[in-house]
A = this chain, B = another copy of it.
Amino acid sequence: MRADAARNLEAVLTTGARMLAADPGASIANIAAEAGVDRRTVYRRFASREDLLAAIYECRLAAVERAIDDARLREAPVAVALHRYVENIIAVNRAWPVDLARMLADDDVRARRDASVREVDVFLERATAEGVLRSDLPQGWAGALLPQLMHLVSRQSPETTPARAADLVVETLLRGLGVS
């Protein structure tokens, strides 16, 4: 692949991710125009609209897997792993803000996504066992809340650094907003 082709490919992927996050029904024509590329060029790289979406979700999926890997959820101390995971995912949310929920049709995507979710679930169980999380929480509540918190802070304050944003998320998750 030539250098300009690689540039265009990346532009289409990142611009597509941004536009699809804002409006899941964004057309190929709009994405191509926003990426400064002809509509036909997109169809030369991706066989169909679904293919483009799959490629974008693949980017997010891979980034999430790297984030989990880097956080060492199974080995590192819970407090360290939690903060690192949150910080990494916030960065991923900003780079690839697309919502995976609309892509669960693809079995491959679903399997990898489930694997990541399970990895986090296992970590949350460890956090509970080590006394970081309360043990009387409803099933799946922590696992559902954490992504929402990261997603919220990713959009709410796009200017703050991922590290500081992670501080806020972890603090909110563990201690809430009330006076101690």
Binding site for B on A (CB under 8 A): 24-25, 131-134, 137-138, 140-142, 144-145, 148-149, 152, 156-157, 168, 171-179
Residue of B nearest to A139 (CB): B157
What is the bound-complex CA distance between A43 and B145, given in angstroms?
40
What is the bound-complex CA distance between A176 and B142, given in angstroms?
10
* Closest CB in chain B relative to A143 CB, distance in Å: 10
Q: Is the CB of B178 within 8 A of A134?
A: yes
**B-side contacts of A134, CB under 8 Å:** 177-179
What is the bound-complex CA distance between A173 and B173, given in angstroms?
9
Q: Is the CB of A133 within 8 A of B168?
A: no
**B-side contacts of A131, CB under 8 Å:** 179
Please pick, from B138, B140, B176, B179, the residue contacting A173 in the complex, using a CB distance under 8 A.
B176
Q: Is the CB of B168 within 8 A of A177?
A: no
Q: Is the CB of A157 within 8 A of B132?
A: no
**B-side contacts of A168, CB under 8 Å:** 138, 141
**B-side contacts of A175, CB under 8 Å:** 175-176, 178
Q: Is the CB of A144 within 8 A of B152?
A: yes
Top 5 A-B residue pairs of the complex, sorted by shortest distance between their CB atoms = A174-B178, A176-B176, A175-B176, A25-B25, A174-B176
Among A24, A133, A142, A172, chain B packs the most CB atoms within 10 A around the CB of: A172
